[in-house]
């Protein structure tokens, strides 16, 4: 079967750098940090008291009271970003064959806050099981994909990918495959996470995974810096409309770029730590490049997973160098998590949008807060430190990796 080309015709987001695409792109270029003291709950007794939260969020601006009862925050973010993307695509919702439009949405944790609150409510009682009928639907990770499809009547492939912080990339690869292999003409892809809450922050703190730079949150996410001490948790959503190229052309759609390849692998090493030699990461990138039908030398920009952890940053850079060879010195590399924090299951979607920004604007978003490069890192790498750089980007590669040893890579190309 001849593979079909797949392009991006709509984008949307709500994340710590902006509640829409325009704000997000502007703050990416400026190198703005989304970190600030936590407002979602009282974090005074927690080791980490800050996060990258969505700013100025009021659910009443987007949903009525009945809807809010049904939607966990991660679902709210999903619906907001997906709605922006559908509207941006200018898809004719009356004319399109809705059986050929699907939704693959991703989340690493889903409605953990709903689960936590419901269990607290039960534990505070006399043991009588009094649970909300919305409890299970609010909690399960697949529900966002369902609600997006219900809003628009999209009847194509519909499910959720869950692979920790690799979730969104895996979901985008699945959506890409659905179109190129003829199972759909249009797909809504993306991810959302709402994990700035007590169980998530407390759980990651117990693993020593989060930065505890409470006196200086805006400089806490510092990938590649020798003083990095963990990631900064974030929240939000990113959405992309994937569309078969001829279908998009026929309706005169605006086209941002095309998605050309995806790769996935396992470290098969440790349940939370990445492989120290980056073996799984290298396989994921090589498979994506092979899938795209390009050469390593065609890559101009790599948006790395780059979480700002002592264990993760260096193996990934070694893996990138291992895949690109000497060409690694010709590419721009950056970690936008230095600004957004780590959106967990939504990270891949937010970072795919950062790649699209680089392709469409000719600007590489920076890695901020790297003041003292880790001496183990090759100083000749262009890590786009602290300031955006102008550059034509034809091909951008984005990595996301997750607990369990999950690795995923997607590649976008200018069209």
Cα(213)–Cα(334) distance, integer angstroms: 22
Quote the mean pLDDT of the chain.
98
Statement to judge: residues 108 and 181 lie in one domain:
yes
Cα(72)–Cα(90) distance, integer angstroms: 28
* Residue where one domain finishes, among candidates 239, 257, 275: 257
Statement to judge: residues 195 and 310 lie in one domain:
no
In a domain, 33, yes or no: yes
In a domain, 371, yes or no: yes
Statement to judge: residues 225 and 372 lie in one domain:
no
Please report the pLDDT score of residue 305 as a whole number.
Answer: 98
CA contacts within 13 A on the Cβ side of 170: 21
* Residue where one domain finishes, among candidates 227, 257, 287: 257
In a domain, 1, yes or no: no
Mean pLDDT for 89-104 is 98
In a domain, 67, yes or no: yes
> What's the pLDDT band for 75 if we cut at 50, 70, 90?
very high
In a domain, 24, yes or no: yes
Cα(50)–Cα(41) distance, integer angstroms: 10
b/e per residue 375-406 (b: at least 16 CB within 10 A): eebeeebbbbbeebbeeebebbbbbbbbbebb
Quick: pLDDT tens for 114-170: 999 999 999 999 999 989 999 999 999 999 999 999 999 999 999 999 999 999 999
* Residue where one domain finishes, among candidates 257, 291, 326: 257
How many distinct structural domains can be found in the chain? 2
Report how far apart, in Å, the C-alpha atoms of 300 and of each of 297, 320, 330, 373 are: 8, 12, 7, 22
In a domain, 296, yes or no: yes
Domain range for residue 107?
7-257
Cα(72)–Cα(78) distance, integer angstroms: 10
Comparing C-alpha atoms, which of 229, 287, 316, 289 is closest to residue 412? 289
Alpha-carbon torsion, ordered 275, 160, 168, 257, to 10 deg: 140
pLDDT > 90? residue 2 = no
Statement to judge: residues 154 and 266 lie in one domain:
no
Please report the pLDDT score of residue 1 as a whole number.
Answer: 59
Q: Which residues are catalytic?
A: 165
Cα(395)–Cα(62) distance, integer angstroms: 35
Statement to judge: residues 27 and 90 lie in one domain:
yes
In a domain, 2, yes or no: no
Cα angle 169-170-171, degrees, rounded to a multiple of 5: 90
Mean pLDDT for 68-96 is 98
Q: At what angle do helices 21-30 and 347-361 cross, to 10 degrees?
A: 80
pLDDT > 70? residue 72 = yes
Statement to judge: residues 272 and 152 lie in one domain:
no
CATH number at residue 119: 3.40.47.10
Statement to judge: residues 282 and 230 lie in one domain:
no
Specify the length of the chain in residues.
415
Please report the pLDDT score of residue 3 as a whole number.
Answer: 87
Statement to judge: residues 311 and 198 lie in one domain:
no
Quick: pLDDT tens for 200-229: 999 999 999 999 999 999 999 999 999 999
pLDDT > 70? residue 53 = yes
Please report the pLDDT score of residue 36 as a whole number.
Answer: 99
Statement to judge: residues 42 and 74 lie in one domain:
yes
Q: At what angle do helices 347-361 and 167-180 cross, to 10 degrees?
A: 70
Quick: pLDDT tens for 362-379: 999 999 999 999 999 999
Cα(356)–Cα(254) distance, integer angstroms: 13
Quick: pLDDT tens for 305-338: 999 999 999 999 999 999 999 999 999 999 999 9
Mean pLDDT for 395-409 is 98
Statement to judge: residues 274 and 125 lie in one domain:
no
Report how far apart, in Å, the C-alpha atoms of 77 and of each of 12, 125, 136, 158 are: 11, 31, 18, 18
pLDDT > 90? residue 407 = yes
Statement to judge: residues 283 and 337 lie in one domain:
yes
With a pLDDT cut of 90, the percent of the chain lying above it is 98
Statement to judge: residues 110 and 146 lie in one domain:
yes
């Amino acid at each position: 079967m001849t593979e079909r080309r797949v392009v991006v015709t709509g984008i949307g987001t709500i994340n710590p750098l902006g509640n829409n695409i325009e704000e997000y792109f502007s703050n990416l270029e400026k190198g703005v940090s989304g970190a600030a003291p936590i407002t979602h709950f009282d974090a005074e007794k927690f080791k980490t008291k800050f996060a990258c939260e969505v700013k100025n969020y009021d659910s009443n601006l987007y949903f009525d009271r009945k809807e809010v009862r049904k939607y966990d925050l991660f679902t709210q973010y999903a619906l907001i970003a997906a709605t922006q993307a559908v509207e941006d695509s200018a898809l004719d919702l009356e004319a399109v064959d809705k059986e050929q439009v699907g939704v693959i949405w991703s989340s690493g944790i889903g409605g953990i806050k709903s689960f936590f609150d419901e269990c607290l409510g039960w534990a505070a009682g006399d043991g009588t099981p009094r649970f909300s009928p919305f409890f299970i639907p609010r909690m399960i990770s697949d529900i966002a994909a369902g609600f997006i499809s219900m809003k628009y009547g999209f009847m194509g492939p519909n499910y959720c990918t869950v692979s920790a912080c690799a979730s969104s990339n895996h979901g985008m690869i699945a959506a890409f495959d659905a179109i190129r292999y003829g199972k759909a003409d249009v797909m809504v892809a993306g991810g959302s996470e709402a994990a700035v809450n007590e169980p998530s922050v407390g759980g990651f703190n117990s693993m020593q995974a989060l930065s505890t730079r409470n006196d200086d949150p805006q400089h806490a996410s510092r990938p590649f810096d020798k003083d990095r001490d963990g990631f900064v948790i974030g929240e939000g959503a990113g959405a992309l409309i994937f569309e078969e190229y001829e279908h998009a052309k026929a309706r005169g759609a605006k086209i941002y770029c095309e998605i050309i390849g995806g790769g996935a692998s396992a470290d098969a090493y440790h349940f939370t730590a990445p492989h120290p030699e980056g073996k799984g990461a290298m396989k994921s990138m090589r498979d994506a490049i092979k899938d795209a039908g390009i050469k390593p030398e065609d890559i101009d920009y790599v948006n790395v997973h780059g979480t700002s952890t002592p264990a993760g940053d260096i193996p990934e850079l070694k893996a990138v160098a291992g895949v690109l060879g000497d060409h690694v010195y010709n590419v721009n590399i950056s970690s936008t998590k230095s600004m957004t924090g780590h959106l967990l299951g939504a990270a891949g979607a937010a970072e795919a949008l950062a790649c699209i920004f680089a392709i469409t604007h000719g600007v590489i978003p920076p890695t901020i807060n790297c003041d003292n490069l880790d001496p183990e890192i090759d100083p000749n790498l262009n890590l786009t430190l602290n300031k955006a750089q102008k550059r034509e980007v034809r091909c951008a590669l984005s990595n996301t990796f997750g607990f369990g040893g999950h690795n995923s890579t997607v590649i976008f190309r200018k069209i």
